[in-house]
């Protein structure tokens, strides 16, 4: 059994993917071919944003978003401590300082109450300028944007949605990557919508920001490609990846998202009462980038992982270390504030196989192993 079975997905989409790749090769328009713009339009339309600017990966997408708003040295950017490292790394990369915030114990997303405390603390210290919030849609569940957006307005902060895991999720009728001032996603193969290599995208409603992103991702180009007006990156999505993503986006919209919901529902049904299953607040939809359960404690979690592994069921621990526990951030001043929720969750959490091509028999088998708990 695979944790995320990309081979099964390929088998299901093989003729369409082969055709898309073949056409991209034959056109020999490998960089910024017409497939890239076509994909950007489809992505923007799907998430409900005016513009999509693709780039080389989800980390660059965040970095481009920060650069577009000139986040720099002396700025504080608030970020949940329980996330994938890139969410915090990019803040340091542009010279700003990540300020870590504890997460909600049930959704694992940034906790609005802790966020307010962190903002107040930074304001009081007067060492850094509070500038932005990066909210992460962890495991596919959109963060609490209604509450976070209010705080962003109250404190005049830029709100960035890190939707690397959130693509496909919703709050009401609004889709992930349409929240905040600017949103990003990743097409790393294991994400809900993945390509066959690295890829990413930024979403905005502002034409000016879109233009800036398009310059930043191509060496800070001006009107003319060889007139460089700012410092940028080389961060483009390959034509071939765009062609593959077009096929995959179609499957994602037509049935993969639905299958993810069905599989999660079956997990919920068979596991409920035995372990804590993912908490999806009323009106929210998760794309289940991960299906993560909580065990009683670290001992029980580690025992279960061992047992699953002995029965050839892969599982993963996302994340063993929060940002405030990373060696690189040992001198970060917020790293000592205390993050009880993040620390408890990282000891108890376990992510189970999750992808649209899992069979009911496989889910049933996994749940039986978990329920037995010898």
Ligand X SMILES: *Cc1c(COP(=O)(O)O)cnc(C)c1O
Positions in the binding site for ligand X (CB under 6 A): 57-59, 83-84, 86-87, 136, 162, 164-165, 186, 188, 198, 200
The C-alpha atoms of residue 49 and residue 179 are separated, in whole angstroms, by 9
Query: Is 31:242 a contact under the CB 8 Å cutoff?
Result: no
Minimum CB separation of residue 373 from ligand X in Å reads 30
Minimum CB separation of residue 360 from ligand X in Å reads 28
Nearest by Cα to 255 from 341, 138, 357, 334:
357
Q: Which is nearer to ligand X, 58 or 356 (CB)?
A: 58
Minimum CB separation of residue 296 from ligand X in Å reads 27
The C-alpha atoms of residue 278 and residue 117 are separated, in whole angstroms, by 26
Main-chain phi, psi angles of 133, to 5 degrees: -120, 130
Minimum CB separation of residue 196 from ligand X in Å reads 13
- Residue number, nearest CB to ligand X: 58
Minimum CB separation of residue 158 from ligand X in Å reads 17
Cα–Cα distance list, 95 to 77, 121, 131 (Å): 11, 20, 13
Q: Which is nearer to ligand X, 274 or 326 (CB)?
A: 326
Minimum CB separation of residue 165 from ligand X in Å reads 5
Q: What Rg value do the Cα atoms of the chain yield, rounded? A: 21
Minimum CB separation of residue 179 from ligand X in Å reads 14
Q: Which is nearer to ligand X, 252 or 304 (CB)?
A: 252
The C-alpha atoms of residue 264 and residue 83 are separated, in whole angstroms, by 21
Q: Which is nearer to ligand X, 278 or 304 (CB)?
A: 278
Strands (E), the chain: 51-55, 75-80, 97-101, 129-136, 158-162, 170-171, 174-175, 182-186, 200-204, 284-285, 291-294, 349-352
Q: Which is nearer to ligand X, 345 or 370 (CB)?
A: 345
Are β-strands 284-285 and 170-171 bridged in parallel, bridged antiparallel, or unpaired? antiparallel
Q: Which is nearer to ligand X, 57 or 292 (CB)?
A: 57
Packing angle, helices 239-251 and 34-47, rounded to 10: 40
Q: Which is nearer to ligand X, 108 or 271 (CB)?
A: 108
Query: Is 291:264 a contact under the CB 8 Å cutoff?
Result: yes
- Our measurement of the distance from residue 259's CA atom to the centroid of its chain's CA atoms, rounded to an integer in Å, reads 19
């Amino acid at each position: 059994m695979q944790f995320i079975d990309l081979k099964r997905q390929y088998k299901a989409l093989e003729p369409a993917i082969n055709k898309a790749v073949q056409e991209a090769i034959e056109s020999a328009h490998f960089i910024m071919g017409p497939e890239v713009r076509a994909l950007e339009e489809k992505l923007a339309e799907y998430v409900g944003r005016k513009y999509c600017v693709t780039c080389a990966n989800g980390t660059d997408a965040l970095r481009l978003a920060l650069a577009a708003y000139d986040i720099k040295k002396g700025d504080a950017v608030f970020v949940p401590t329980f996330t994938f490292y890139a969410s915090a790394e990019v803040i340091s990369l542009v010279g700003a300082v990540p300020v870590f915030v504890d997460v909600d114990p049930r959704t694992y997303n940034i906790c609005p109450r802790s966020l307010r405390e962190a903002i107040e603390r930074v304001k009081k210290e007067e060492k850094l300028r509070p500038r932005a919030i990066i909210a992460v849609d962890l495991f596919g569940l959109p963060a609490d944007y209604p509450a976070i957006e209010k705080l962003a307005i109250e404190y005049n902060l830029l709100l960035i949605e890190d939707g690397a895991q959130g693509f496909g999720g919703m709050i009401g009728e609004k889709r992930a990557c349409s929240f905040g001032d600017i949103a990003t996603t990743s097409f790393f193969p294991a994400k809900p919508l993945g390509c066959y290599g690295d890829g990413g995208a930024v979403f905005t409603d502002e034409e000016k920001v879109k233009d800036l992103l398009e310059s930043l991702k191509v060496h800070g180009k001006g009107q003319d490609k060889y007139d460089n007006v700012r410092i940028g990156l080389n961060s483009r999505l390959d034509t071939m990846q765009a062609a593959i993503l077009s096929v995959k986006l179609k499957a994602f919209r037509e049935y993969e998202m639905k299958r993810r919901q069905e599989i999660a529902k079956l997990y919920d049904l068979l596991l409920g009462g035995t372990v804590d299953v993912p908490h999806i607040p009323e009106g929210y939809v998760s794309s289940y980038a991960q299906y993560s359960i909580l065990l009683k404690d670290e001992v029980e979690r580690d025992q279960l992982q061992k047992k699953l592994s002995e029965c050839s069921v892969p599982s993963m621990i996302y994340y063993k270390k929060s940002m405030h526990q990373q060696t690189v951030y040992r001198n970060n001043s917020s790293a000592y504030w205390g993050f009880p929720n993040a620390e408890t969750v990282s000891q108890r959490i376990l992510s189970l196989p999750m992808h649209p091509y899992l069979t009911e028999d496989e889910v049933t088998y996994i749940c039986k192993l978990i329920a037995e708990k010898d």
